[in-house]
Amino acid sequence: MDIPKRPLPENQRIEAYKARINRVMDYIESNISQSFTLDELAHVAHFSKFHFHRIFHLLVGETLFHFIQRIRVEKAAAFLKSDPNRSITEIAFDCGFTSSAAFARSFKKTFQLSASQYRKNNLHEPLVHRQSNIGKLKSNQTKDIVNDPSYIPFNQTVEPAPFDASETANCTVKVTFLQKMTVVYVRYIGPYKGDAVLFERLFEKLFKWAKPRHLLSFSPPWMFVVYHDDPGITDTNRLRISACVSVPELTRVSGEIGRMVIPEGEYALCRFHLLPSEYQAAWDWVFGSWLPQSGYVPDDRPCFERYPPGVENNSSDKCVVDICVPVKPLENF
């Protein structure tokens, strides 16, 4: 005799729906070069194929088809800006378009420019302008969780790059291989620039979920903010970010909490001691000054901020942060 499953408490039901939608978004982004079917995506979300499209539309605010097309076009726009050696046709197929003509129509409808005109206009523009302001996290609740005895310090000697918002060229960057890392996350969609309270709320929610599951004491956890979209391309109200903390690979998730893998590979890693007001200058320097003369271009993995555990700040007002940009060598035409 089968034992019936207990229904979720009312306050957890909407979180479970959000987690399923986030799982589909992650799947689409990770497989953007392929075509998708409604059956396939409904299966990923564990929703009935007969109702999934309506549920997605109501929760996300755009249809499933529009979301997929928007992500394809915006990914293509990012590649046009970041990789001048990649042909427009190659970019179109890598982003899942079935023909050059279909890509041209979609791109011009979105940006009112052809792909070649867009590339010419944006070739020397910085790719991203981010400002998480996670360094402003000051709530007693967050500090209590991070300073809890179960939060084991990470014994690592660090050499933070000197940074002055007025002299950003003093920053040092190294290109290094980072192993893949499993993280749990809370997803947010919407404007985030300069909103310290938002980032505080996201990480507090994540810590509240992780602490009773002993995930903050299993190993020294790292905190991340993953940026899924380019603010220079995606509408502010559609920007997606994930507040993350590292966990063991097979960690089970529940409710609104999702799980994903930050992919391995070569990254430009820049370590700063930043004041809250300096995040924008740091990101602008990496993309506007360092990257163009580095011999590298960004690839199609997401950028993120990484917050090392147990690293002491020289100033209580500053936060140690690694700005991590996925890169590959710049090749000649």
**Domain coordinates of the chain in residue numbers?**
10-122, 134-329
What are the angstrom distances between the C-alpha of 84 and each of 11, 80, 116, 118, 276? 49, 6, 11, 12, 33
* Local confidence band at 136 (pLDDT 50, 70, 90 cut-offs): low
Q: Taking 90 as the threshold, does the pLDDT of residue 101 lie above it?
A: yes
The CATH fold assigned to 10-122 is Arc Repressor Mutant, subunit A (1.10.10)
The CATH fold assigned to 134-329 is Multidrug-efflux Transporter 1 Regulator Bmrr; Chain A (3.20.80)
pLDDT: which is higher, 324 or 195: 324
Q: What is the mean pLDDT of residues 207-230?
A: 86
Check residue 285 and give its pLDDT: 85
Amino acid making up residue 147: N
Q: Taking 90 as the threshold, does the pLDDT of residue 225 lie above it?
A: yes
- DSSP E strand boundaries for the chain: 174-178, 181-189, 223-227, 240-246, 258-262, 265-274, 296-298, 303-307, 319-329
Check residue 8 and give its pLDDT: 57
* Local confidence band at 288 (pLDDT 50, 70, 90 cut-offs): confident
Question: The tokens of 309 are what?
Answer: 């555990």
Check residue 11 and give its pLDDT: 65
Give the lowest-confidence range in 41-50, 65-74, 212-221, 294-303: 212-221
pLDDT: which is higher, 153 or 55: 55
> What residues are paired with 175 via a beta bridge?
268
Each residue of 157-207: pLDDT tens digit? 333 344 444 444 347 789 999 999 999 999 999 999 888 889 999 999 999
Check residue 107 and give its pLDDT: 96
User: What is the spatial distance between Cα 92 and Cα 115, in angstroms, rounded to a whole number?
Assistant: 10
Report whether 94 contacts 73 (CB < 8 A).
no
Question: The tokens of 273 are what?
Answer: 């001691």
Each residue of 1-11: pLDDT tens digit? 445 555 556 66
pLDDT: which is higher, 69 or 156: 69
Q: Taking 60 as the threshold, does the pLDDT of residue 222 lie above it?
A: yes
User: What is the spatial distance between Cα 211 and Cα 230, in angstroms, rounded to a whole number?
Assistant: 32
User: What is the spatial distance between Cα 81 and Cα 79, in angstroms, rounded to a whole number?
Assistant: 5
- Sign, Cα dihedral of 316, 243, 311, 272: negative
Check residue 133 and give its pLDDT: 58
Q: Taking 90 as the threshold, does the pLDDT of residue 134 lie above it?
A: no
User: Which H or E run contains 107?
Assistant: helix 100-111
Check residue 161 and give its pLDDT: 40
User: What is the spatial distance between Cα 93 and Cα 115, in angstroms, rounded to a whole number?
Assistant: 14
Question: Under the phi-then-psi rule, with left for phi > 0, alpha for psi from -120 to 50, and beta for the rest, what region is 24?
Answer: alpha
Q: What is the mean pLDDT of residues 135-142?
A: 47
Whole-structure pTM value:
0.71
Average pLDDT over all residues of the chain = 81
Report whether 202 contacts 186 (CB < 8 A).
yes
Check residue 215 and give its pLDDT: 87
User: What is the spatial distance between Cα 153 and Cα 147, in angstroms, rounded to a whole number?
Assistant: 9
Check residue 326 and give its pLDDT: 92
User: What is the spatial distance between Cα 308 and Cα 123, in angstroms, rounded to a whole number?
Assistant: 33
Residue whose structure tokens are 């890169």: 327
Return the number of other C-beta atoms located less than 10 Å from residue 292's C-beta.
13
Check residue 154 and give its pLDDT: 26
Q: Return the percentage of the chain with pLDDT > 70, whole number.
A: 77
End-to-end CA distance of the chain: 67
User: What is the spatial distance between Cα 292 and Cα 294, in angstroms, rounded to a whole number?
Assistant: 6
Check residue 137 and give its pLDDT: 53
Amino acid making up residue 142: T
Return the number of other C-beta atoms located less than 10 Å from residue 295's C-beta.
11
